[in-house]
Structure 1
Amino acid sequence: MSAAIDERVTDEVEALEAILLDDVVVKREDDVPKSIETVVHPSTGDDVDQQFVCVTLEVKLTSKYPDNSPEVTLRNPRGLDDETLANINSQVKKKLKECLGQPVVFELIELIRESLTESNLPSGQCVICLYGFTEGDIFIKTQCYHHFHSHCLASHLIAGKKYYQEEMDKLPNWQQMQAPPYQQTCPVCRCPMACDVEALKRAPLPVQSITAKPFSLTAELKALQTKMASLLAHQIAKGGVVGMGDTGPPPLTITSPSDNDEESNATSSTAPEPTKPEPRHNGQNGAHGNHSNENSTPGSPQTRPAYRGPYRGFNRRGKPGRRSRGGQAATR
């Protein structure tokens, strides 16, 4: 350790590593501590499943720390709304002023832990139903520290698996065999997770969804409807809404190979029989007639409907009735 490092900083870092073990990360440059990072959870004893909130504390040590205050950042809050997070930040700034001139990292960890313990109930809304979390709600915390009502998450996972199966049924068999199996993911961050859907389904509905007042069209909503209708009319007049008042070409439609096959079958069933070439008679065919009668075949591009099947490039060998690589009709 360099002699230029303040002994107070050295003692603090050693104490943090001895107490927090692997839960603290100390970043060094040339053996000089530059930043300290740790994830702070509420105090729940050994019951980790009851820790519903957390936040990452990052402390960047300045060159004159602890005589100068370090740079403190709270990152990746989980289960905390903006108001709770702002309150914690305010307490951190106050603690930095009180402890100026002495190591403060451990004090900050304890301060944040106490605040999280008092707010150890997910704040904000369930992103599935948009109702908040109240007393009596049964909710679940994912491995990525996102919270949902158990009943809402069950409905989301059931709908997601149903949509996955519908999309799989549209694929050919060889693609279905190569496709990965269905994987449950977090509705917020898409991290993989594993939940017992049947157990989640047995949970009751969110309390606020039952006790919420019936919907009524208030004056505020009516004013908002009028404003949005005026905005929509302006967008239509400027051509900003596709499909309404648009006299131009239709928008691009993305189809699957099965759609092309169905359209091709429907076209071929209603298309007229291709005309056969008339026999050649001397003196009755013009300059263009000689080429068309000699080289044309039944179902040539001049008489058959436009090709809508799979990509032609998959079969490039010349066959009767199809074009070869040279662009002429293949003959035997």
Structure 2
Amino acid sequence: MSSAVDERITDELEALEAILMDDVTIKSVDGVPHMIETVVHPSTGDDTDQQFVCVTLEVKLTPGYPDTSPEVYLRNPRGLDDEVLAVINSQIKEKLNDCLGQPVVFELIELIRENLTESNLPSGQCVICLYGFAEGDVFIKTQCYHHFHSHCLANHLISGRKYYDEELEKLPSWQQMQAPAYQQTCPVCRCPVSCDVDTLKKAPPPVDSITAPPFCLTAELKALQLKMAALLQQQIAKGGVVGVGDTGPPPLTITSPADNDNEATNTSSSSQVGAKAAEVAIGHTRPSGNGSNDSSTPASPQRSAYRGPYRGFNRRGKPGRRGRGAAVAPR
């Protein structure tokens, strides 16, 4: 696009701002518009609660537009599967070829809106139950434009609140007072949501969950189970699965300053007892003046080697090594 803005583009931008107002964003570089962005919803009149799908349209004005076709992108689709998006993209290409030489942005918006109106029922699956949306289902659209069966979302929120309360009870009282209040979140994007769980619980289960045939373990599933079991054994043999067949001490334990003080105290006491036990053992083996061993001195009680938790890569904690301060066996 040249530095002088084409009059056809200026008229198009003024018309878009007059019709869409705050719903359209026009980005410019050095005073020259180069990107038009808007979120397209289906036509439902003033009832925005019935708008279950949407998509963001980005139109990049290429040099020479409108005599050349702009670059068109569909971003952040909500409630639309790949098949619907493929149909819309195919129709966009046809529209660009038919309208070459004239402004086309408003035509693209209307084309996308018509497709969204026809596909206003969310496509894909409910990520909670993994069943699709069928006629007769009662579903909900969150503020972040994600869709769930109302029955499924109610169970999810109830389970989330139960888990929060259980974890909160495990904390000391002072931490419970400082803990943030429970916040409902979207199962997909974790954005905060606000839903009436009591109302959602009244919704029936998904239609497909009721009419679905009973589960049957087919030969294909059995073959897949055997394949996955063999893969698991291969990963275990190569050490790729953590926690399977590992009976030794953990490679590293994070300790606190209090643990270090206790370890230092135990080490000092163990060293003193070990030194005294060594003297006794040497006294038992030292020959007396009459050529016999002096066994009149009673043996001091010996303290076993330190067997506390393994606290990192130190000599004392390695398997097979004698603990520091352990008694010397009599020769």
How far off is 1:254 after superposition?
Answer: 8.7
Query: What are the equivalent positions in structure 2 for 1:245-260 lying under 5 Å apart?
Result: 245-250=245-250
Mark the CA change 1:83 to 1:254 in structure 2 (over 3 Å): closer, same or farther: farther
Rounded Cα–Cα distance in structure 2 between residues aligned with 1:109 and 1:81: 19
Cα gap change, 1:214/1:302 in structure 2, threshold over 3 Å: closer, same or farther? closer
Shift of 1:244: 2.6
Secondary structure at 1:116 match in 2: helix
Give the counterpart letter for 1:141 in structure 2.
K
Residue aligning to 1:223: 223
1:169 aligns with 169
- d(CA) in 1 for partners of 2:176, 2:198: 26
Query: Closer, same or farther in 2 for the Cα pair 1:251/1:185, shift >3 Å?
Result: farther
Q: Residue by residue, what CA displacement relative to the aligned partner does 1:62-119 show, whole Å, maximum 9, x if unpaired?
A: 1211111111000010000111111111111111111111100000000000000000
Instruction: Report SS of the residue matched to 1:140.
Output: strand
Match of 1:178 in 2: 178
CA distance in 1, matches of 2:251, 2:43: 57
For structure 1, which runs of at least 5 residues remain unmatched after alignment? 265-273, 278-283, 286-300, 308-332
TM alignment of 1:1-332, pairs within 5 A: 4-250=4-250
TM-score of the pair, normalised by structure 2: 0.76
Q: Distance in 1 between matches of 2:252 and 2:228?
A: 27
Say whether the 8 Å CA contact 2:3–2:32 is kept in structure 1: no
Cα RMSD over matched residues?
A: 3.0
Letter in 2 for 1:235: Q
- Aligned pair count reads 272
Q: 1:285-327 CA distances to partner (integer Å, 9 max, x unpaired)?
A: 9xxxxxxxxxxxxxxx9999969xxxxxxxxxxxxxxxxxxxx
After superposition, the Cα gap between the structure-2 partners of 1:233 and 1:302, relative to the gap in structure 1 and judged at 3 Å, is: closer
Cα deviation code 1:130-189 (max 9, x no counterpart): 000000000000011000000000000000011111111111111111111000011111
Note if contact 1:239-1:246 (Cα within 8 Å) is conserved in structure 2: no
Q: Could you tell me how far apart the structure 2 residues matched to 1:70 and 1:120 are? A: 27
Between the two proteins, what is the percent identity of the paired residues?
Answer: 77
Shift in CA distance, 304/151, structure 1 to aligned 2, threshold 3 Å = same
Query: Structure 2 stretches of 5 or more lacking a match?
Result: 263-268, 273-278, 281-302, 310-331
* Structure 1 runs of 4+ with >2 Å offset: 242-255, 301-307
Give the CA deviation at 1:253. Answer: 7.9
Aligned to 1:313: none
Report the CA distance shift for 1:52/1:251 in structure 2 as closer, same or farther (over 3 A).
farther
Letter in 1 for 2:38: T
Q: CA deviation at 1:31?
A: 2.0
